Amino acid sequence: MNYHSTRNANALVDSAQAVLSGLAPDGGLYVPQALPRLDVSYALSLEPMEMAAYIIGAMLPDIPEMDTLVKKAYTGKFTAPDLTPTVQAGPYTVLELFHGPTCAFKDVALCMLPQLLTAAKTQKGQKEEVLILTATSGDTGKAALEGFRDVDGVKICVFYPHGGVSQVQRLQMATQAGSNVRVLAVEGNFDDAQTGVKNIFAAFGDRPTPGGRRLSTANSINIGRLAPQITYYFKAYRDLLTRGQIQMGDAVNFCVPTGNFGDILAGFLAKKLGLPVGKLICASNANRVLTDFIRTGIYDRRRPLHKTVSPSMDILVSSNLERLLYFISGDTALVAQLMEKLSREGAYQVPAQLLGEIQELFAGYCCDDNATCGEIARIFTQYGYLCDTHTATAFAAAEAYREDTGDERPLVVLSTASPYKFPAAVLGALEENSQPDEFAMMTRLEKLSGVPVPGPLAHLQDMPVRHREVIAKKMMTERMEVYE
């Protein structure tokens, strides 16, 4: 199956090459020339791992033996036997995506991506080792490390801002095991780390690094990260069918805490593949670029970035929105023009018809930190369900959407992180938080909620610290390839 850039439909690559390259040479994102045909009833009859193999296999048909790759990716890595369980919280069905090795939803895709990448590398006969570089503000780095650890033919180096991540996030990375991993704290903020990574890519491009490796990234522009996320929309629908909450064919709404627009775009693709998806509700925090865009058709990044209690959604440029613009308009020239405007002027406006079609499918809501914490308390008090800060923005959006529209169709809230990953904000939402550190906060939260602290977080305190190096920005290239 052929893929091309969102900005030019003429240069075609197969799906294995699209995974291997990540980004198209013109800076656009890879999209399939035509979406595959899925047998939806068949997909919904499958167990989670078979379902994943069927759906990812349909999206990436040039990568062989998808069943084996899926088993390798997920077996023994998720604490829930069905990977992404659903639970009921009052009127809402919650799709819990955080039962993987790092307790955040990115595990679903980042356990799978290394398998896809190494299979694509073999398929394409690429001999050199791959070096994955990732700058992280917290969650992505750890999920990528865990996904790529001890994967043959791949090295991974993660850069995070020194002093810029939480205690739990820092320990999660500093204790990372694996013979092919590097974790470096960079003096500076997240933007410094990210700029450093971009400079390394600009310096080497497609050419080998000093260590003879090919650079690649683990971020959500790669179609190999998007495809695995489609599966859990089908899985949630299947759960509702099994429990008799819906009949086959009934439309279900999904509410998604959104940053880079990857997670919610997977829901859009699930709909395009035939799943009866109703409205996709896009939840944002105080960085409400997407809320404004969905309501007005104007995307405007020229505003200050707020640091919030839901840091994984503190984003002003949502890269995967570019794919939505392409899928809805089908017009690569238009997408190229809009992206050019965004990079030159910091803003663009979509044509009225395109906006109309986006509004048919999506609704946008946002809430600030106060409302986020209020929502954590409300959901806990009313429904006895403890959610994290990102998920709380989705609960708030779901509630506001139902009130505004009276749309009573079943609604699934995607829960993207364990509440124990953000214990300071979550505990602070429930009571006066005077605990001395994040581990004491976890213990207190466990007592309040009766929900056990997930193993990977509970054991962090006792694990040996393996990565202590703090480097200056200008040392990133020099230190990224030092593997014992």
Ligand X SMILES: *Cc1c(COP(=O)(O)O)cnc(C)c1O
As measured in angstroms, the least distance from the Cβ of 269 to ligand X is 13
106 with 140: CB under 8 angstroms? yes
Alpha-carbon gap, residue 468 to 174, rounded angstroms: 7
Contact between 267 and ligand X (CB under 6 A)? no
As measured in angstroms, the least distance from the Cβ of 225 to ligand X is 9
Return the range that interacts with ligand X (CB under 6 A); candidates 9-17, 66-74, 255-263, 443-451.
Answer: 255-263
Task: Kindly report the length of the chain.
Answer: 484
Residue 272 falls in the annotated catalytic set: no
Return the range that interacts with ligand X (CB under 6 A); candidates 164-172, 254-262, 270-278, 366-374.
Answer: 254-262
Return the range that interacts with ligand X (CB under 6 A); candidates 54-62, 260-268, 427-435, 447-455.
Answer: 260-268
Nearer to ligand X among residue 171 and residue 417 (C-beta): 417
Distance, CA of 266 to chain centre: 10
> What is the C-alpha radius of gyration for the chain, rounded to an integer number of angstroms?
21
Nearer to ligand X among residue 231 and residue 312 (C-beta): 312
Could you tell me where the DSSP H helices lie in 346-467? Answer: 352-361, 369-383, 389-405, 423-430, 438-449, 455-458
As measured in angstroms, the least distance from the Cβ of 104 to ligand X is 5
Alpha-carbon gap, residue 369 to 371, rounded angstroms: 5
- Pick out residues in 84-103 that bind ligand X (CB under 6 A): none
Return the range that interacts with ligand X (CB under 6 A); candidates 55-63, 259-267, 360-368, 400-408.
Answer: 259-267
79 with 107: CB under 8 angstroms? no
- Pick out residues in 340-399 that bind ligand X (CB under 6 A): 390
Alpha-carbon gap, residue 246 to 424, rounded angstroms: 38
Alpha-carbon gap, residue 22 to 373, rounded angstroms: 36
Interface pick for ligand X out of 96, 139, 192, 369 (rule CB under 6 A): 139
Nearer to ligand X among residue 193 and residue 246 (C-beta): 193
CA dihedral 454, 239, 49, 259 (to 10 degrees): -60
- Pick out residues in 397-416 that bind ligand X (CB under 6 A): 416
As measured in angstroms, the least distance from the Cβ of 47 to ligand X is 25
Contact between 259 and ligand X (CB under 6 A)? yes
Three-state SS at 372: helix
Nearer to ligand X among residue 226 and residue 480 (C-beta): 226
Q: Which one is catalytic: 71, 72, 77, 106? A: 106
Could you tell me where the DSSP H helices lie in 384-422? Answer: 389-405
As measured in angstroms, the least distance from the Cβ of 453 to ligand X is 17
As measured in angstroms, the least distance from the Cβ of 114 to ligand X is 18
Contact between 262 and ligand X (CB under 6 A)? yes
Nearer to ligand X among residue 259 and residue 423 (C-beta): 259
Contact between 339 and ligand X (CB under 6 A)? no
- Pick out residues in 214-243 that bind ligand X (CB under 6 A): 220
What does each C-alpha distance from 177 to 148, 157, 172, 181, 316 come to in angstroms? 11, 13, 10, 7, 33
Interface pick for ligand X out of 13, 60, 104, 429 (rule CB under 6 A): 104
Q: Which two tokens stand for residue 390?
A: 């990102």
Alpha-carbon gap, residue 357 to 444, rounded angstroms: 47
46 with 58: CB under 8 angstroms? no
226 with 269: CB under 8 angstroms? yes
Contact between 257 and ligand X (CB under 6 A)? yes
Question: How many degrees, rounded to 5, is the angle at CA 110 between CA 107 and CA 111?
Answer: 80
Contact between 260 and ligand X (CB under 6 A)? yes
Binding site for ligand X (CB under 6 A): 104-106, 139, 220, 257-263, 312-313, 390, 416-417
Residues with active-site annotation: 106
